[in-house]
Every structure is written in C-alpha cells, then in structure tokens.
C-alpha cells in the first residue's frame, strides 16, 4: 500500500510540475521573434541590442526627454549589491 501511495504522490507532483512549467498561451500569443531586419532598422521605441544599432549610435530618437524637462527626471528604481563595496580594479591592474 505504501508503494502505491508513494507512486501516486509522485504522479501528482509530476502533474503539478508540468502544469506550472507549461507556458500560458496568452503570454506567448503576441510573441514576435527578433529578425535581422529589426536589428538593422530598429523601431524607435525598441533597444534590441547594446548601443541600439549596429553602427553603435547610442542615440534614442525618442523625444519625451528634452532640455526643458530633463531636470524633472527622478530615480525610478535601484538595486544594491550584497556585501561590502570593493574598489574597481582595471584589467591592467592599475
């Protein structure tokens, strides 16, 4: 009887795991994979890679922040590192 209960518990646990681990279709219904064309000419609202473009412009064409309102920007979030801060050491050891 213990073997049957143990096996039943294992089956229930496996079924629960599969139910939780299976992605919900609503989360991936609007998924669009990134294409080469998207990387070559990204939408102004997207920052798909480091430096935004292949020519590393690092420029956002968005215009919500300008000279008049830049002073109104505030910190939205921050994350601290655990443990004591260590001084930065460059690759050259300097």
pLDDT of res. 83? 81
Write out the two tokens for 60: 């956002």
Rg (the chain; Cα; Å) = 25
pLDDT digits over 20-62, tens only? 665 556 567 778 899 999 999 988 888 898 888 898 888 888 8
> What's the rounded mean pLDDT across residues 73-79?
90
pLDDT of res. 61? 85
Q: Are 34 and 48 in contact (CB under 8 A)?
A: yes
């Amino acid at each position: 009887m213990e073997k049957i209960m143990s096996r039943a518990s294992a089956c229930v646990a496996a079924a629960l795991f599969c139910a939780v681990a299976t992605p919900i279709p609503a989360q991936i219904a609007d998924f669009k994979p990134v294409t080469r064309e998207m990387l070559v000419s990204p939408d102004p609202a997207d920052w798909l890679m480091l430096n935004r473009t292949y020519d590393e412009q690092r420029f956002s064409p968005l215009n919500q922040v300008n000279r008049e309102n830049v002073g109104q920007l505030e910190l939205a979030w921050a994350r601290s590192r655990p443990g004591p801060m260590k001084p930065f050491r460059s690759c050259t050891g300097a």
